[in-house]
Amino acid sequence: MHFELTRDFLDKLKESIASQDDKIVRELIKELHPADIAEVFDELTIDEAHYVYSKLGKEDAADVIVELEEDVREQFLEHLSSKEIASVFIDNMDSDDAADVIGELPEEKQEEVLSHVSDVEQAGDIVDLLSYDEDTAGGLMATELISVNENWTVSKCMEEIRKQAEDVDDIFFVYVVDDSEMLKGTLPLKKLLIASSDTHIKDICDTDIIMVKTDTKSEEVANIMDKYDLVALPVVDSIGRLKGRITIDDVVDVIKEEAEKDYQMISGISSDVEASDNVFQLTRARVPWLLIGLFGGTLSARVLGNFGDEISLYPAMAFFIPMITATGGNVGIQSSSIIVQGLANKTLGLETTMKKLLKELSVAIVTGLFLGLLAFIYNFLTSDSYALTFSVSTALFSVIIFSSLFGTFVPLALNKIKIDPALATGPFITTTNDVTGLFIYFWIGQIFFSYFS
């Protein structure tokens, strides 16, 4: 059943914690999913959260830690000893989650925690995982999986699966390897169940394998799993030896993080930030693109200054400056956002890119004609100046075409030179379109006012 955190629940829990009523606290949290308990922790003080944590079993406590936001988890773990972290959390976590938690600790404390891990093999797996970059398949994978030798019979295979299953929470695939641990295929459970006991595994396994290497970027991993609708993906080293597997829950986290990063870039925030960051960190992340906006505003002022005579002679032109700049900025952001989305999910190939460009141009033409016509009708009915009427509608059409093309080409160009195309949106597109839109508007205005004078 879906849990909804309410003020009544939170007040009752806090009262029970304050009175140290263990029975009520356990009663309130016993049916909650670890993700729900993590949500509750976000609303508690560190001391209150530690009190609730002390009432959890080891496995539940480990699951809750995994579900916590990084900043909350960091604060929480600061109050625990290395031995507590190792015995309560690490011993009850999958290797990938354990590596993530340990990787967030200071280097000195990492060594202390690992020295207290009771399972030497698990400690070794965690150390291996920590050696991979966190944004690669090696940094995402877990080492817990079911693997069988291609030369085994079905009966021996079933026997080994029972043993290995004790360390694996979810069995999505059985992986088939040779004597050198080279990945040879996957074994569907249905084939395993219906095959005779003396059948060799290599005779029934599927050899058409989708896999990634340990240095494959996490974004590419997410795209592969999305494209082929996979719930688990095997990871091999540079020579093809099976090293681990990535499950769909890990990829969901990657997709979420990439979406947050792109959204921040689109909003003009130059680095990854959290709401809990201090004032200096938040300011440092925002200032670079605001400086670009400031520079663009200065250029806009210079453009207006250069056309000062026209504004003095035809002051009605000034009334439409906000409309021209706002429309250009919005059209540019819309176009660039669509391209950035296509680049992010790998749906823009050579042929599809050309189709997308033509479609964006077509949309820009139709949109420009429609909005330009509305502007023409408005000015025709409310103004006695034909020059103003034609200037505004023509400039609006031209600015929409330019902004759409600019918003389309810039992300593609940035992607070509290996720069995140999300940088193209937000302040950069808006500022550039403001300056260019003003120039186009007044240049067209000069032409029409000279013609009709």
Q: What is the pLDDT of residues 50-81, one digit of tens each?
A: 888 888 887 888 888 888 887 778 888 887 78
Q: Which amino acid makes up residue 148?
A: V
Q: Identify the weakest region by mean pLDDT among 45-59, 264-278, 379-393.
A: 264-278
Q: Identify the weakest region by mean pLDDT among 53-67, 132-146, 343-357.
A: 343-357
Judge whether 41 and 52 are in contact, CB under 8 Å: yes
How high is the pLDDT of residue 282? 59
How high is the pLDDT of residue 351? 60
More confident residue, 39 or 289: 39
Q: Above pLDDT 70, what percent of the chain? A: 85
Helix (H) or strand (E) holding 176: strand 174-177
Q: What is the 3-state secondary structure (H, E, C) of 280-321?
A: HHHHHHHHHHHHHHHHHHHHHHHHHHHCHHHHHHCHHHHHHH
pTM score, whole prediction: 0.64
Nearest to 363 by CA among 408, 320, 297, 324: 408
Q: What is the dihedral sign for C-alpha 337, 342, 343, 345?
A: positive
More confident residue, 322 or 268: 322
Would you tell me which CATH number, out of the four given (1.10.390.10, 3.40.140.10, 1.25.60.10, 3.20.20.70), belongs to the domain 7-137? Answer: 1.25.60.10
pLDDT over threshold 60, residue 91: yes
Cα 7 to Cα 366: distance, rounded to the nearest angstrom: 51
Question: Tokens 């992340």 belong to which residue?
Answer: 285
Give the pLDDT band (50/70/90) at residue 214.
very high
Give the pLDDT band (50/70/90) at residue 288.
low
Would you tell me which CATH number, out of the four given (1.20.1050.10, 1.10.3720.10, 1.10.10.10, 1.10.357.20), belongs to the domain 279-452? Answer: 1.10.357.20
Tokens representing 80 are 């625990």
The CA–CA distances, whole Å, from 254 to 183, 251, 269, 277 equal 25, 5, 19, 21
Judge whether 449 and 390 are in contact, CB under 8 Å: no
pLDDT over threshold 90, residue 216: yes
Angle between helices 58-67 and 70-78 (to 10 degrees): 130
Helix (H) or strand (E) holding 146: strand 146-149
How high is the pLDDT of residue 289? 63
For the segment 394-408, the average pLDDT, to the nearest whole number, is 90
For the segment 172-189, the average pLDDT, to the nearest whole number, is 91
Domains 7-137 and 146-248 alike in fold: no
Each domain of the chain, given as residue ranges in start order, spans: 7-137, 146-248, 279-452
- CATH number of the structural domain 146-248: 3.10.580.10
